[in-house]
Chains A and B, each alone.
Chain A
Amino acid sequence: MSLQNKPVGMPKKKSHAGRYISVAVLVIVTLIMLLPVFYMISTALKSNVEIRKVPPTIIPSQLHFENFGLIFSKIRFGTYFFNSIFVAVLVLIGTLLSSSLVSFGFARYKAREKNLLFMLLLSTLMLPYPALIIPQYLLFRNIGWVDSFLPLIVPSFFGSAYMIFLLKQFFSSLPNDLFDAAKIDGCSEFRTWWNIALPLCKPAMATVSIFTFLWTWNDFITPVIYLNTDSKFTLPIGMSGMISAFRLIPWNLIMVGSIYSLLPIFILFFIAQKYFVEGIVLTGLK
Chain B
Amino acid sequence: MVKSKKFLSALLSVCMCSTLLLSSCGGNSPGSSDTAQGKDGVSGKVTYLTLNQEDRDYVTKLTPDFNQKFPDVKIEVVTAPYDQFDQKLQTMIAGNTPPDVTSHFGQAGFMEYYNKGMLLDLTPMMEADKYDPVAVGIPKEIADIYKIEDKYYGLPLNTYVSVLAYNQDLFDRANIPYPTADYEDKSWTWDKMLEYAKKLTVNSDNMEAATYGLEWFWAEPDMRPLYFGAKVYSDDTWTNGGNPSEVYFNSPEVINVYQKLSDLVFKDRVSPTDSIVQGLGGQSGESFTSGKIAMKPAGAWILSGTNELPFKVGIAAIPNAGNDKIRDVLYVDPLFILKGSKNPRAAYEWIKFNLEPEIQEKMIDLSGGNPPSNMKAFEKYCSFFPNIDPKDLKMVYDGGIKYGTESYNHLVNNYSQIWTIVKNETDPCLLTGKSTAADVAPAVQEKVTKLLKDMNSK
Show the binding face of A for B, using Cβ within 8 Å.
48-49, 52-55, 90, 97, 133-134, 137-138, 141-150, 153-154, 157, 188-191, 194, 220-221, 224-225, 228-230, 233, 237-238, 240-241, 243-249
Does B280 belong to the interface (CB within 8 Å)? Answer: yes
Pairwise interchain contact B57-A188, C-beta atoms closer than 8 A: no
Among B27, B55, B94, the one with the most A-chain Cβ atoms within 10 Å of its Cβ is B27
User: Which of chain B's residues have a CB closer than 8 A to the CB of A149?
Assistant: 22, 25-26
**A244 → B minimal CB distance (Å):** 4
Pairwise interchain contact A247-B54, C-beta atoms closer than 8 A: yes
How far is it, in angstroms, between the C-alpha of A143 and the C-alpha of B30 when the chains are bound?
7
For the complex with contacts A189-B4, A225-B91, A248-B289, 6 further pairs of A-B residues with Cβ separation under 8 Å are: A141-B96, A147-B28, A148-B26, A150-B19, A190-B11, A224-B80
Pairwise interchain contact B79-A230, C-beta atoms closer than 8 A: yes
Does B195 belong to the interface (CB within 8 Å)? Answer: no
Pairwise interchain contact A55-B208, C-beta atoms closer than 8 A: yes
Does B202 belong to the interface (CB within 8 Å)? Answer: no
How far is it, in angstroms, between the C-alpha of A138 and the C-alpha of B96 when the chains are bound?
8
User: Which of chain B's residues have a CB closer than 8 A to the CB of A238?
Assistant: 52
**A48 → B minimal CB distance (Å):** 5
Listed A/B pairs (13) with beta-carbon separation below 8 Å: A53-B290, A54-B292, A90-B22, A137-B95, A146-B95, A148-B25, A148-B26, A190-B7, A190-B11, A194-B7, A240-B82, A246-B370, A247-B54
User: Which of chain A's residues have a CB closer than 8 A to the CB of B55?
Assistant: 244, 246-247
Q: Which of B80-113 contact A (CB under 8 A)?
A: 80-84, 87-88, 91, 94-97
How far is it, in angstroms, between the C-alpha of A244 and the C-alpha of B84 when the chains are bound?
13
Interface string of B229-261 (1 = CB under 8 A from A): 000000000000000000000000000000000
Pairwise interchain contact A224-B284, C-beta atoms closer than 8 A: no
User: Which of chain A's residues have a CB closer than 8 A to the CB of B370?
Assistant: 246
Does B309 belong to the interface (CB within 8 Å)? Answer: yes
Pairwise interchain contact A150-B23, C-beta atoms closer than 8 A: yes
Interface size in chain B (residues, C-beta < 8 A): 62
Interface string of B296-328 (1 = CB under 8 A from A): 000101001100111000000000000000000
Pairwise interchain contact A224-B88, C-beta atoms closer than 8 A: yes
Pairwise interchain contact B301-A245, C-beta atoms closer than 8 A: yes
Q: Per a CB cutoff under 8 Å, which of A144, A188, A221, A245 touches B4?
A: A188
Does B291 belong to the interface (CB within 8 Å)? Answer: yes
Interface string of B49-82 (1 = CB under 8 A from A): 0011111110010000000000000001011111
Pairwise interchain contact A54-B30, C-beta atoms closer than 8 A: no
Q: A52-B290, A141-B30 are in contact. Are A224 and B94 (CB under 8 A)?
A: no
How far is it, in angstroms, between the C-alpha of A138 and the C-alpha of B60 when the chains are bound?
27
Among A220, A224, A230, A233, the one with the most B-chain Cβ atoms within 10 Å of its Cβ is A224
Pairwise interchain contact B29-A144, C-beta atoms closer than 8 A: yes
Q: A52-B309, A241-B52 are in contact. Are A225 and B88 (CB under 8 A)?
A: yes
How far is it, in angstroms, between the C-alpha of A272 and the C-alpha of B302 when the chains are bound?
47
How far is it, in angstroms, between the C-alpha of A148 and the C-alpha of B28 when the chains are bound?
8
Pairwise interchain contact A146-B27, C-beta atoms closer than 8 A: yes
Q: Which of B372-425 contact A (CB under 8 A)?
A: none
How far is it, in angstroms, between the C-alpha of A245 and the C-alpha of B280 when the chains are bound?
15
User: Which of chain B's residues have a CB closer than 8 A to the CB of A194?
Assistant: 7
Pairwise interchain contact B3-A188, C-beta atoms closer than 8 A: yes
User: Which of chain B's residues have a CB closer than 8 A to the CB of A49?
Assistant: 308-310
The 5 closest A-B pairs by CB, nearest first: A248-B305, A147-B27, A188-B4, A144-B29, A148-B26
